[in-house]
């Protein structure tokens, strides 16, 4: 039965890729709601394949076609295998990729682990915004399989980028091309992770500022945050909204009473046991799995559609920072557009902005390295 499930997941993923590519070549001009996305980007992909022209940022489509031709299919099959048993892998990989790209670019620095060597240096994984991230073991597993086929060739950064895209496809999200050729960072950036990853309690001004630092405008910010339509959100991140909003000792007054009660029941956590959320030096070194097991979580959704925006319009966003998208006209108008659409506008825009994010400040050429074990730089492997 397990083999059957894996086969079905792989067929679904492959079918989704083929359909997306065929639409880009044959149908996009007759489907106005797709706004030409596939035509714009996938036609460029075909041109890349035909001319073998390297992109200005050093990435290329099917970068490993000569050095490791089966790399992408290995990633695809392993993500499908895991998805067949754990459908929440899509949200985990997507969040892991976002947190990686938002700190010094898409370089797999988020995966580096301080469990070996000098523990006086914190890593990104230990930063407060990253303490509930999952999926590190998945990337390690996929990397091991790729290493068997092509030792020392395919970067962890590329594996994470490809796996995140394939996870999006498996959960019903849109296809977007992933250019490859990234190299891995040799260091992790704890301080930058603390300062530059958007805070779930942040107001709209702060959220827009942090996204703008990465080159994203208001519409792109709204599109990217639509990734919260799948997966689960730790109750740690909404606890203050439920019991002590902005230190008032009261819940966030913007939350409808019925929704407040629903979240409190789902989280099942006594607010008397809450803390100030500031990690001590000791707690920073707790294993991610141990930290996550101590927390309860609440589902943000299972389908990759526009229900996230519809909930925001009804004031039922889980995170304060998400609900804040309705607090400013610069973002609220895009939330309304997505909420009232049939979902195609969001999917098109999400694919566009994911393609952009996947190329943020990448390391290429002789920069960085290609790790053989994703959690450790080469000199520590």
Q: Is 368 left (phi over 0), alpha (psi -120 to 50) or beta?
A: left
**pLDDT at residue 18 in the model:** 47
**pLDDT at residue 140 in the model:** 96
Higher pLDDT, 229 or 115: 229
Query: How far from the centroid of its chain's Cα atoms is residue 286's Cα?
Result: 23
Q: In this predicted model, what pLDDT tens digit does every residue of 35-90 receive, in sequence order?
A: 333 333 444 434 443 333 345 589 999 999 999 999 999 999 999 999 999 989 99
Q: How confident is the model at residue 26 (pLDDT cuts 50, 70, 90)?
A: very low
pLDDT average, residue stretch 140-159: 98
Q: What percent of the chain has pLDDT over 90?
A: 68
**pLDDT at residue 57 in the model:** 80
Q: In this predicted model, what pLDDT tens digit does every residue of 207-230 receive, in sequence order?
A: 999 999 999 999 999 999 999 999
Q: At what angle do helices 136-149 and 156-170 cross, to 10 degrees?
A: 110
pLDDT average, residue stretch 338-354: 96
Judge whether 86 counts as a catalytic residue. Answer: no
Average pLDDT, rounded, for the chain: 82
Q: How confident is the model at residue 268 (pLDDT cuts 50, 70, 90)?
A: confident
Whether the per-residue pLDDT at 134 is higher than 90: the answer is: yes
Query: How far from the centroid of its chain's Cα atoms is residue 167's Cα?
Result: 10
Strand, helix or coil at 81?
helix
Q: Which of 99, 228, 271, 307 is catalytic?
A: 99
Whether the per-residue pLDDT at 198 is higher than 90: the answer is: yes
Q: Which residues contact 240 (CB under 8 A, 6 or more apart)?
A: 201, 246, 274, 277, 320
Q: Which residues contact 245 (CB under 8 A, 6 or more apart)?
A: 251, 252, 253
Whether the per-residue pLDDT at 265 is higher than 60: the answer is: yes
**pLDDT at residue 302 in the model:** 62
Q: How confident is the model at residue 234 (pLDDT cuts 50, 70, 90)?
A: confident
Q: How confident is the model at residue 201 (pLDDT cuts 50, 70, 90)?
A: very high
**pLDDT at residue 14 in the model:** 52
Q: What percent of the chain has pLDDT over 70?
A: 74
Tell me the torsion sign for CA atoms 225, 227, 230, 235: negative
Whether the per-residue pLDDT at 288 is higher than 80: the answer is: no
Task: Report which of 274, 281, 310 is spatially closest to residue 295, judged by C-alpha positions.
Answer: 274
Q: How confident is the model at residue 232 (pLDDT cuts 50, 70, 90)?
A: confident
**pLDDT at residue 46 in the model:** 40
Q: How confident is the model at residue 25 (pLDDT cuts 50, 70, 90)?
A: very low
Tell me the torsion sign for CA atoms 180, 183, 188, 194: negative
**pLDDT at residue 270 in the model:** 41
**pLDDT at residue 55 in the model:** 53
Cα(210)–Cα(192) distance, integer angstroms: 12
Which of 125-139, 154-168, 258-272 tops mean pLDDT?
154-168
**pLDDT at residue 83 in the model:** 96
Whether the per-residue pLDDT at 339 is higher than 50: the answer is: yes
pTM listed for this prediction = 0.81
Task: Report which of 115, 106, 117, 189 is spatially closest to residue 155, judged by C-alpha positions.
Answer: 106
């Amino acid at each position: 039965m397990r083999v059957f499930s894996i086969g079905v997941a792989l067929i679904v993923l492959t079918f989704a890729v083929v359909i997306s590519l065929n639409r880009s070549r044959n149908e996009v001009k007759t489907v106005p709601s797709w706004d030409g996305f596939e035509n714009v980007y996938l036609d460029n992909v075909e041109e890349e394949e035909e001319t073998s022209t390297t992109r200005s940022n050093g990435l290329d489509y099917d970068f490993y076609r000569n050095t490791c031709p089966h790399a992408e299919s290995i990633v695809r099959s392993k993500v499908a295998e895991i998805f067949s048993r754990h459908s929440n892998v899509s949200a985990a990989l997507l969040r892991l990729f976002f947190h990686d790209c938002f700190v010094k670019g898409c370089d797999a620095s988020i995966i580096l682990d301080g469990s070996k060597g000098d523990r006086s240096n914190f890593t990104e994984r230990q930063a407060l915004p990253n303490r509930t991230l999952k999926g590190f073991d998945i990337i390690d597993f996929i990397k091991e399989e790729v290493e068997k086929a092509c030792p020392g060739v395919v970067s962890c950064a590329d594996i994470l980028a490809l796996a995140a895209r394939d996870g999006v496809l498996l959960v019903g999200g849109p296809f977007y091309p992933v250019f490859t050729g990234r190299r891995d960072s040799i260091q992790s950036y704890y301080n930058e992770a603390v300062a530059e990853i958007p805070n779930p309690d942040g107001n709209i001004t702060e959220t827009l500022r942090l996204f703008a630092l990465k080159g994203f405008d208001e519409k792109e910010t709204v599109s990217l945050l639509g990734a919260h339509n799948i997966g689960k959100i730790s109750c740690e991140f909404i606890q203050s909204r439920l019991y002590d909003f902005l230190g008032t000792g009261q819940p966030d007054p913007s939350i409808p009473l019925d929704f407040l009660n629903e979240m409190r029941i789902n989280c099942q956590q006594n607010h008397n046991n809450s803390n100030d959320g500031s990690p001590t030096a000791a707690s920073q070194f707790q294993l991610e799995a141990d930290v996550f097991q101590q927390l309860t979580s609440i589902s943000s959704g299972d389908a990759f559609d526009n229900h996230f925006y519809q909930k925001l319009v009804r004031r039922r966003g889980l995170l304060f920072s998400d609900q804040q998208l309705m607090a400013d006209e610069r973002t609220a108008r895009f939330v309304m557009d997505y909420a009232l659409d049939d979902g195609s506008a969001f999917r098109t825009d999400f694919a566009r902005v994911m393609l952009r994010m996947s190329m943020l400040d990448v390391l290429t050429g002789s920069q960085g390295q290609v790790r053989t074990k994703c959690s450790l730089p080469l000199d520590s492997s």
